[in-house]
Structure 1
């Protein structure tokens, strides 16, 4: 009971942090989350390190136990304390315990045995054991050790075939290497099974570490598994973050096979950000409809061999396809930039889109583009939007400034959506982590200074509270911080609008850009009206026709 109370306290604390850092957070699809029973939340894309997990915990409306890698705990002692308070499941991966190998290793080309690795000034017998892995620099490859012959000679299970790996192994003087120990994951597996059997929720980010790519990291295939190799392969899954989803599929099927009455639901969770690294940015978290694990997959899992492999592969494919439905996934950043520009050009004139509606529109536009990207008309629009975007950058303008700037009112100039693609995917996390240290220290110093001044100058409105004076000062500091943040939001909007207001002195530039924009908007909406019904049955032709009339009348 005490632990649950602590969990709630920590969760509310995280909620306060999130609401302070983000200007707006939208949650969609929370009604899809089962109110009871075991649930595995699968989050993607993993674009914002610790922040993704905090959002999942806060808006899932269930007590979620996150899977956190050991290296994340190493960020600081306070992170370890918070992780234990929320009862996170700690993943100890071999690469988290890796250490640099002594000496250098090389592959003797004069010998036909490509599995035999030699060393220079190495201590294989002291530093390595059978079952450990040796890893080459820059992730050129790794392989498990099957036999240690001497301090300078060992045998690996799988030969290095990649050209880069062979290049560093055969270079004069050898190459540095990393030693990764074998980690027994049996306790982890048992913990997960116990939680699922108890009807609890687990949160996982199958891409492992956070990234700044515009698409989901592709998930690899499944390996042959037997009960005797269960824990060893589970370690392999967790070591290679790309295969973590396979490990989750294995755990889910294993739990249902062990307990036939268990009904595990898998809920995909899409996370999307606008300027994720910036203070007072925006975020959207979306929960998809729960995935029920088919009974035939559980039956196949029980058969072992190729049937077990097929069952895990099939469940992984189902999860991956459902993730793609709720995440904004583009093949590259250029396409994502163009799609978001198209969204701004085709959005309804009579109202401002909410951020969750923006995400949904982005997703639909990307889906349409991927299906018709070879169409000549679509390619033509793609090129024109890129040119228009370059023209805006040349004039140091945003699209909303061209669309809304007038000399008659400041309000119109303030409307718009500030969109920027950024690869700085861990900056938000570091800002929050640093604030954990800086803010308490700063508030403590400010409180001491205020108490000293109050005592020196006899400020009655503070000193009259006696021992409660420090608390009163802290409350005043928090209120001051809140007001400062709100003023910062307003001031930032005003600052961003200054340049567009100055340009109203030269209306020719705005008029030319506005003309180009209107023509481009008309072409985009015409194409959407043409191909939209081919993709989406709920496509609203009447709404599009009305938009075309409004643009044509300008």
Structure 2
């Protein structure tokens, strides 16, 4: 047991402070699944939040973890020192050394042959590297370079968009990704595990905002099997960790960190890995399947975002759900998705899917979520009194928070501008939907830059005013006056203001049903509530039927 404070502890505490400001609630479940000693590989998914995922995982993991992260991340102006302070193991990725290819490429009549237009394959490319299409539409390893304008690839490009780009008369631009020797990385991770310590991996390899997991990278399987093959006496455990957000990119949203049951590496896979060749490849593939199943048990994944939205609405409609926390909702979402995937071809289930989709469209029209539908009450004095009372409290919250809002307006505008620009760039990738995976990270990184400047300026202005108007309650602190002013400013803005924000947001959400009670025709409200009641009965009946068949 360590009896002294290390850099790791300081940075971890700093992460905790940041996360408690940005997120309203972070719950941790399954800590009893984490081995208290011995080597452990933590695999966390989905990678929905760029640098923030690593911060949450490191802060709330009960053991000290060396995260495997892209070396490029350590070059970020503000995040880099923090990443280095967390004992991160850096990974050099081919994409970080990408070069724009000269000329353009197109497909030959043979799909594993690529022709170049104005290219210099023999000078610019090397066997073992990769050629990549724009916007992540595909990449393939180079097997053989036949000439400056012809090469052979390992796997043919797939997907409509990739084929469309490669069959244009003038071809398509491309990038060259050189081969990177990862043996130093594997050596370092095996050393950490051999010492009985822990490493953390985000196995999807990149952040994203999709509803399903991206294909897992083989690196973690290679590390685990290599370490076991070198030392058969050590028992390396793999612990899946689900990083589940209510709305990952939004300020004051919620998160659940869920640790799943530890996975033991089957001895037969270690033996197959020792055999090399095709056996080694099969061993890695089988271990990846085991890890993927483990991750599915701690995350909510769906074929697409629309299906995930329908599942979450169905869970809200389900009458027999009495859970009140995000963790209970997560577990029920998992069960609903499992049941849906088993019987999605059933005509009744498909009809239910269409009805819920139409109901979601109706909710968007009114600006409501499902839980607010029955909060819409009939017009009357009691409803009017409640509406006026909540408006008064909301106005009071706004007045009390107004000084803080004005002080933080430059920060709010800058973080929104920077994160929106980064999301716009990220959206160009074919594996992204809205680019939300970068928003929280860039809001926090921008705050790193802006807060010291902004609050340093405010402290300077207050001290000038204190000297001019003889505010002795400030000046009596002497050389500690700047520190006292800064502490008061930060305490107000990052405690009082945040509490007022939470209260005001809750009041605002509760106002909407009351406003609709007075602004919408009663017939429309009753129709919406009738639709909800019917769907709730149908969903509950369907779930109960599937439960009797052990399908949900």
| TM-score (norm: length of structure 2) | 0.82
CA contact (8 A) 1:144 1:157 kept: yes
C-alpha distance in structure 1 between counterparts of 2:163 and 2:539, whole Å = 50
Write out per-residue CA displacement over residues 493-525 of structure 1, whole angstroms, 9 at most, x where no aligned residue.
Answer: 212222311223354443332233223222222
SS in 2 for 1:426: helix
1:144-223 aligned at under 5 Å gives the runs 144=142, 146=144, 152=148, 155-156=151-152, 158=154, 175-217=172-214, 219=215
Change (3 A) 1:105 1:397: closer
Across the aligned residues of Structure 1 and Structure 2, the Cα RMSD in angstroms comes to 3.1
1:250 paired residue among 196, 219, 222:
222
- Determine the structure 2 residue equivalent to 1:490: 503
- Determine the structure 2 residue equivalent to 1:385: 356
Matched, 1:438 2:450: yes
Write out per-residue CA displacement over residues 327-377 of structure 1, whole angstroms, 9 at most, x where no aligned residue.
Answer: 11111222211111111112558x661111111111111112222223343
1:526-537 aligned at under 5 Å gives the runs 526-535=541-550
C-alpha distance in structure 2 between counterparts of 1:15 and 1:27, whole Å = 13
C-alpha distance in structure 2 between counterparts of 1:422 and 1:128, whole Å = 33
Give how far 1:170 is off. Answer: 6.8
Write out per-residue CA displacement over residues 214-235 of structure 1, whole angstroms, 9 at most, x where no aligned residue.
Answer: 1112x3xxxxxxxxxxxxxxxx
CA contact (8 A) 1:120 1:174 kept: no
- Determine the structure 2 residue equivalent to 1:15: 16
Aligned length: 499
Query: Which blocks of at least 5 consecutive residues in structure 1 are unaligned?
Result: 220-241, 415-420, 540-554
Change (3 A) 1:117 1:383: closer
Change (3 A) 1:190 1:429: same
Give how far 1:143 is off. Answer: 3.3
SS in 1 for 2:24: strand
C-alpha distance in structure 2 between counterparts of 1:501 and 1:169, whole Å = 56
Q: Which moved more, 1:140-149 or 1:321-330?
A: 140-149
1:504 paired residue among 508, 514, 517:
517
Write out per-residue CA displacement over residues 107-129 of structure 1, whole angstroms, 9 at most, x where no aligned residue.
Answer: 787xx99758556274853x445
C-alpha distance in structure 1 between counterparts of 2:502 and 2:476, whole Å = 35
- Determine the structure 2 residue equivalent to 1:93: 93
Change (3 A) 1:454 1:104: same
Give how far 1:104 is off. Answer: 4.5
2:484 paired residue among 467, 472, 494:
472
CA contact (8 A) 2:194 2:227 kept: yes
- Determine the structure 2 residue equivalent to 1:523: 538
- Determine the structure 1 residue equivalent to 2:438: 426
C-alpha distance in structure 1 between counterparts of 2:338 and 2:324, whole Å = 19
C-alpha distance in structure 2 between counterparts of 1:178 and 1:495, whole Å = 49
CA contact (8 A) 2:140 2:153 kept: no
1:53-68 aligned at under 5 Å gives the runs 53-68=54-69
Change (3 A) 1:280 1:143: same
Give how far 1:71 is off. Answer: 3.7
Matched, 1:396 2:397: no
| TM-score (norm: length of structure 1) | 0.82
